Structure 1
Amino acid sequence: MKQTILKSIKMNKFLLVLLFSTAIMQAQVVLEPDSTGVVKSNDSLVVQQVMKRDTLKPFKRYKAEGVSAVVGEYVILDSDIDKAYVEMQSQGISIEDITRCQLMGKLMEDKLYAHQAKQDSLMVPDAEINGMIDQQMQYMISELGSEEKVAAYYRKDNMAQLRTELFEVNKSIKLANLMQQKVIEKVEVTPEEVRTFFFSIPEEERPVFGAEIEIAQIVVDPEITQQAKDEVVAKLNAMRADIIDNGASFATKAVLYSKDPGSNSKGGLYLGVKRDSPWAKEFKDQAFSLLEGEISEPFETEFGYHILYVEKIRGQEVDVRHILMFPEVSQQSIDAAQKKIDDLKAKIEAGEITFAEAARKNSDDKETRNNGGQLINPISFDTKFDLTKMDPTLSAQVYNLNESEVSKVFTDRDRTGKSSLKILTVTKKYEEHKADYTKDYERIKQLALREKQFKTINKWQNDKIKDTYISINQDYQGCDFAGNWMKK
């Protein structure tokens, strides 16, 4: 078990491929989780359990629609596993070392969780699943260009069929995640358990932690003048008047002028917007306050300025088109921001003010300025960043910096497309090193907790397998699964 955990720290190639392929298999569609909010099978505990299985090569024979296994009320088809291989290959992932046994085992485990979640009356609101599907579909349409192309790509007659399949897949995954979290939610480790765990690992096998850094930033945004705001509102009003008075095409104007990369190629179209969808509040307020065929006055969100057209009202959903525009930043504002950040950099390097003080007094980034500009890792939620896993833009600016050294001024764009000027500093460097019980206690504690969670998961799984109807096709009888799926 410890070997499995230590291998996961190094994140070998096999684990990376299996993590990704498992998420694809679960969703059965090509999606970007950060963009769509897809609920993935993100429990690395189960994924790492799968790593313990055999290394048999994929079977040569494939069934068209044969049943591979039944777990409780869930049926697993051969085509479910076939789809996983196709999706991995379409993403350029090698399937050479990924076996059908491994994918089959992972899928059975997820179905066992989902089955038991229903037995324990764990509930997932349909509205939550539908919201996820809305995001998935919007992303797929933006990538492939139209609903027809999306349906054809996934071999469905229409989007309704795809939506039905996505609903069941997403609900199953969500139930599985809820069940696993319930199984391990009360698992804790004591300091003595942490100590025992660490010192039971032979010294030559103790993990090596990679180089990490802590980073702080100062952000200066070029000022957007009231004149610039008024000008963009005037442009949107002119477009609105042309559409209403002269019959101009809203969709054409969206293609020509909208700055929204997710919809401008489709004439600004977004389908199936719901009240509980994760859109900006101002956007939803407009979408649900207009009648079919009406166009809003210009309004502002965190993304910029919009006008919105309600194309179709379908019960509690609306199909809308919108045009998004940004106020233009004058060269005078850009020059002023450049001078401000250059002066701050010079004062910090001259020792007139510390980086943290300058950030607290001058940074325009609300999330970081109060703690001296210190960045938080969005994955681990602490202040340390692994240099090999950082955002490339960020990594390029700090890779060669020493502690307390200030980066060059650079321009960065946020998710709304707004440009800002930034400087960074490395507040602390941690060189690559073998795990030390005192210095790395928190990390070691997490490893010890993970091992205890593994054991809890294994025990729960084998207990539930005994009480659950399981039928496995003879093609998979030779697989060396982690759990006692054959009930031997």
Structure 2
Amino acid sequence: MRPILSALLLVVAAGAVAQPVAPGQRLDGIAAVVGEQVVLYSEVDALVQQTTQGREAPPDLWSRALDRLVDQRIVIARARQDTTLNVTDDIVSQRVDQQVAQLAAQVGGEPQLVQAYGRSIDEIKVSVREDVRDELLLQQYQGRRMREVKVTPGEVRDWFDRIPESERPEVPELVRVAHIVKIPASDEAGEARVRAFAETLRDSILAEQATIEDLANRYSDDPGNTNRDGTQNGGLYTTLRLTDLEPRFQAAAAAAEPGDISPVFETPFGYHVLRVNSRDGNRISFNHILLQVEVGEDEAEAARETLSVLRDSIQAGTPFEAIARRHSEEPQSAARGGYVSVPQTRQRDLSAEGLGPQWRATIDTLEVGEISEPAPVTLADAEGTQAFHIVLLQKRTPAHPLSVTDDYALLSQYALQEKQNEVLQEWVDDLRETVYVDIRAEQYQPPAGG
């Protein structure tokens, strides 16, 4: 297993995992040599796929992706030579342990992780260790350089003035919000009923009383079971990468033989019955049925009542931030006292429309400084967890034309990002003169869409 390395923070969104060759593609090979490192064709292909996410790619995207991975390796090569960086074996071991523990938690435990990757825990740790070290070196080395980059008010205004007046967008309504989240406990009786029904469906398939396609069309809760034209597809997914699947689903798919019906298994989305149709390296085709467990009304009411009590405490004088840190069940915002922000930038002025209809319905009932009654919310996690929350509206900025006066903080972020991009690229170009680079991919034909 080769983990995704942190890419250049402003030049590359993410590194790429080397993937097995799909049918019709050229065998994997070395696209470039950078110092003592290599960039594989499959890594470039994976970065292109990650960038396009199914959309049509520009003709030069593959070569630009290769350049970005080469840039990454150049910085890593120089970071390895910098003896002032402090990445000790203890720090690396701690990060490796954390990453492997997170992976194990995602798939349900260490035995499931061993099954999914076909290696022992110690072998997995050994395989990721050097990549983790490189990641830490890269963060320190590049972070030191980027801390030196600042923007002045004059540079922010110059950046704004370069936007033609006719092209200056209107800034949508912005809000600052904080919330306290409670996730209803699952209804154990409901879970048992859903699992039993999944077992019944599986038995029907095994007895050839129905096909998995027919039962998926009749019972599956997976939105992907419906095509864009409204027709149903029998729960079919084709040519997905196994490593792109939810970890527990990935483990079940890896254990299933093509044509077999899997045992019923659980993921954060619900209960599944799976048939793997084909597997070619890391590519997989399958049909599945998803049965979701609805939250029982008693559990939902208990979550709402808890939030009502917390709301009363805040209105009686207990700081919202203190209650959020102690009681909110969404870890990211709870750690910040309930404040909601963009994860990558910590930007707190958020588009009211972009928060989604559930948030908007709650926010529209509030004046600045007010706290909402408990309301339903779908959390922005991988599982789309259904929960309840109370919302504090801290600030509301009406929609308005973009201006330096009203939007300086936002403009300064954009101006700083552009300046960091320029400084970083100049820096990498200078580093290229000190690191051996051999591009070997001139004759390589990237896969369709790349």
TM-score (norm 1): 0.52
Structure 1 residues 423, 188: closer, same or farther in 2, change over 3 A?
closer
CA distance in structure 2 between the aligned counterparts of 1:430 and 1:255, rounded to whole angstroms:
46
Unaligned residue ranges in structure 2 (runs of 5+): 1-9, 12-30, 76-141, 227-231, 430-450
In terms of mean alpha carbon deviation, does 397-406 or 244-253 score higher?
A: 397-406
Q: What's the secondary structure of 1:406's corresponding residue?
A: coil
Pairing 1:251–2:210 present? no
In terms of mean alpha carbon deviation, does 331-340 or 279-288 score higher?
A: 331-340
1:271-316 CA-partner distances (Å, limit 9, x unpaired): 22434x3211111111111212211211111222112112223344
Pairing 1:365–2:330 present? yes
Which of 312, 316, 321 aligns to 1:346? It is 312
Q: Which residue pairs with 1:222 in the alignment?
A: 184
Q: Which residue pairs with 2:260 in the alignment?
A: 294
In terms of mean alpha carbon deviation, does 254-263 or 419-428 score higher?
A: 419-428
Q: Which residue pairs with 1:356 in the alignment?
A: 321
Report if the CA contact (8 A) 2:149-2:419 is conserved. Answer: no
Q: Counterparts in 2 of 1:106-185, with a 5 A limit?
A: 123=39, 125-126=41-42, 129-130=45-46, 133=49, 171-175=62-66, 178=69
Which of 128, 152, 172 aligns to 1:194? It is 152
Report if the CA contact (8 A) 1:220-1:337 is conserved. Answer: yes
CA distance in structure 1 between the aligned counterparts of 2:289 and 2:361, rounded to whole angstroms:
34
Q: Counterparts in 2 of 1:467-482, with a 5 A limit?
A: none
Pairing 1:313–2:271 present? no
Deviation at 1:118, TM superposition (A): 6.5
CA distance in structure 1 between the aligned counterparts of 2:224 and 2:48, rounded to whole angstroms:
17
Q: How many residues matched?
A: 319
Report if the CA contact (8 A) 1:306-1:325 is conserved. Answer: yes
Which of 210, 217, 235 aligns to 2:197? It is 235
Q: Which residue pairs with 2:233 in the alignment?
A: 266
Structure 1 residues 379, 363: closer, same or farther in 2, change over 3 A?
same
Q: What's the secondary structure of 1:217's corresponding residue?
A: strand
Structure 1 residues 272, 130: closer, same or farther in 2, change over 3 A?
farther
Structure 1 residues 253, 125: closer, same or farther in 2, change over 3 A?
same
In terms of mean alpha carbon deviation, does 214-223 or 361-370 score higher?
A: 361-370
The structure with more radius of gyration: 1
Deviation at 1:378, TM superposition (A): 4.4
Work out which structure has the larger RCO, using CA pairs closer than 8 Å and 6 or more positions apart in sequence: 2
Report if the CA contact (8 A) 1:363-1:369 is conserved. Answer: yes
Deviation at 1:187, TM superposition (A): 6.7
1:376-395 CA-partner distances (Å, limit 9, x unpaired): 22464332324465545434
CA distance in structure 1 between the aligned counterparts of 2:306 and 2:369, rounded to whole angstroms:
20
Q: Which residue pairs with 2:339 in the alignment?
A: 374
Structure 1 residues 120, 233: closer, same or farther in 2, change over 3 A?
same
Structure 1 residues 172, 219: closer, same or farther in 2, change over 3 A?
same
Deviation at 1:367, TM superposition (A): 2.6
Root mean square deviation, CA, Å: 4.7
Report if the CA contact (8 A) 1:258-1:324 is conserved. Answer: yes
Which of 450, 461, 484 aligns to 2:418? It is 450
Q: Counterparts in 2 of 1:409-448, with a 5 A limit?
A: 409-414=374-379, 416=383, 418-428=385-395, 435=404, 444=412, 446-447=414-415
Structure 1 residues 123, 167: closer, same or farther in 2, change over 3 A?
farther
Report if the CA contact (8 A) 2:44-2:69 is conserved. Answer: no
TM-score (norm 2): 0.56
Q: Which residue pairs with 1:330 in the alignment?
A: 296
Structure 1 residues 254, 374: closer, same or farther in 2, change over 3 A?
same
1:63-115 CA-partner distances (Å, limit 9, x unpaired): xxxxxxxxxxxxxxxxxxxxxxxxxxxxxxxxxxxxxxxxxxxxxxxxxxxxx
Report if the CA contact (8 A) 1:130-1:167 is conserved. Answer: no
Deviation at 1:451, TM superposition (A): 5.0
CA distance in structure 1 between the aligned counterparts of 2:236 and 2:422, rounded to whole angstroms:
46
Report if the CA contact (8 A) 1:124-1:171 is conserved. Answer: no
Deviation at 1:199, TM superposition (A): 7.8
Pairing 1:401–2:331 present? no
Deviation at 1:233, TM superposition (A): 1.2
Structure 1 residues 292, 425: closer, same or farther in 2, change over 3 A?
same
Q: What's the secondary structure of 1:123's corresponding residue?
A: strand
Q: What's the secondary structure of 2:39's corresponding residue?
A: coil
Deviation at 1:128, TM superposition (A): 6.3
Deviation at 1:234, TM superposition (A): 0.9
1:206-252 CA-partner distances (Å, limit 9, x unpaired): 99996743211122222212222222111111111111124420111
Structure 1 residues 196, 413: closer, same or farther in 2, change over 3 A?
closer
CA distance in structure 1 between the aligned counterparts of 2:51 and 2:393, rounded to whole angstroms:
37
Q: What's the secondary structure of 2:195's corresponding residue?
A: helix
Report if the CA contact (8 A) 2:44-2:65 is conserved. Answer: no
Structure 1 residues 378, 400: closer, same or farther in 2, change over 3 A?
farther
